[in-house]
Amino acid sequence: MDVKLTTPLTKEKVEGLKPGDNVYITGTIYAARDAAHKKLMERLDEGGPLPFDPKGAIIYYVGPTPTREGEVIGSAGPTTSVRMDAYTPRLLDLGLLGMVGKGKRGPEVKKKMVETGAVYFAAIGGAGALIKKTILAQETIAYEELGPEAIRKLEVKDFPVTVIIDSRGEDLYEQGRAAYLSWKDKEEEK
């Protein structure tokens, strides 16, 4: 099913999403990778405020390539999400409701997603040049010294993602594997 979502997210907006749904996001999302996540945790440990409010937010795990003259942003393909797993539960507790990356998530993250009603989306790896066309504006808001891993505020329109893990913990990767194994077993019985 195709779904259009506008940020910020709410539990009501994401509760009907299911693994495999194609979602087109419009609004503000935040770009942050592992180095930025580590700095966010350090700031929380020090009792300081975060550079953005995670409540209802979406974080896109991306470190864009350099921006060419006349363009909004460089190629903006997703990075492997498991790199953020050590930091994600804490952000989910602060109200983060969406994450975009590629690859699987660990069991602790999935458990915390169910507790908090969050959703994990995948963007297509290798399609960064196409994805950047949905990014209308970008601004570095923290940790500029990290270069491409700095935290950026992105304004997007119809940013294309697929639901991988829904707010109930249903996982498209697990469903796909189970369907394949079932098919394979049936084929072997023939």
Give the residue extent of every domain in the chain.
2-189
Q: What integer pLDDT is reported at residue 89 of this predicted model?
A: 98
Q: What is the pLDDT of residue 21?
A: 97
Model pTM score: 0.91
Quote the pLDDT of residue 183.
67
Instruction: Give the per-residue pLDDT at 178.
Output: 67
**Residue of 27, 25, 35, 6 whose CA lies nearest to 142:** 35
Task: Give the per-residue pLDDT at 155.
Answer: 98
In this prediction, residue 132 carries a pLDDT of 85
Active-site annotation holds for 37:
yes
pLDDT value at residue 76: 87
Q: Which of 15, 19, 23 is nearest to 176 (CA)?
A: 19
What was the pLDDT predicted at 27?
98
CA proximity to 158, closest of 25, 31, 30, 60: 25
CATH annotation of 2-189: 3.20.130.10
- 112 Cβ contact partners less than 8 Å away, ≥ 6 residues apart: 88, 89, 92, 93, 118
**pLDDT value at residue 180:** 64
**Per annotation, catalytic residue among 8, 19, 33, 37:** 37
pLDDT at 185: 64
Low-confidence ranges of the chain (pLDDT < 50): none
